[in-house]
Amino acid sequence: MVHYDFSGKTVLITGATGALGRCVVRQFQQVGATLALCARNGETLHQLFADIALDPQHLLIGDVDLTRPEDAERLHQSLAQRFGRLDIVVNTVGGFRSGPPVHETPVADWDLMMGMNVRSAFLLSRAVVSLLIAGGGGSMVHVGGRAGLVGFAGAGGYCASKSALIRLVEVLSAELKPYRINVNCVLPGTIDTPANRAARPDADFSQWVSPEAIGEVILFLCSPSARAIHGAAIPVYG
């Protein structure tokens, strides 16, 4: 892996307890970043990152549901009080649900996908932009999905929400470029996680993309080497 140095950089990673999130946390830890981690389950967050919780330079913020405006505001207040600024935001929050065709899809399932994949990104971005501006610039990376480019049957809500996330990233990029903030997203294919292997035991796992590989692309997008990249949706299919 290319060696990066993120010492002196404050990095917020959301969805830190997920398979991708926890990998990205360790990758940023290895390159010296000051970490702010948030997740919906505070107990799991502290269990997974007990070593980070014990280090006073870092901050763990549990019980944050980024589909709730009040939780996003609490996250902002915690970050503002502790750091006063951010350099990097990596948003790994999201979810997948497939099911019946669109005309039979329950409204609750549609709303769930829109909430997890778009509303969360909107509320997070709304909460942290002022902190990135206060830091004099920086990077924001959202995790989208291949389905944001090509829809497939049985996943209307998921495909539509991932497509909407790409447009949101493009808008944020256009708005924040004058502040020297790069906003981009990565589009993984199927991620090689224990949950995905359990759900599709007959698949060829060698064709899937590892969390580590996705994390390396995210590190690049947050590095000075990516300073000229704005509003991109980077395929990371494996």
Distance CA(77)–CA(73), nearest Å, equals: 6
Q: Is 4 an annotated catalytic residue?
A: no
| Residue in the block written with tokens 């990066």 | 4
Task: Give the number of C-alpha atoms closer than 13 A to the C-alpha of residue 130, restricted to the C-beta side.
Answer: 10
> Can you read off the two tokens belonging to residue 28?
């940023």
Residues 6+ apart with CB under 8 A from 103: none
Q: Single out the residue of 75, 169, 70 nearest to residue 117, CA to CA.
A: 169
Half-sphere exposure of 106 (CA within 13 A, CB side): 6
Q: Which of 4, 158, 179, 237 is catalytic?
A: 158
Positions marked catalytic: 158
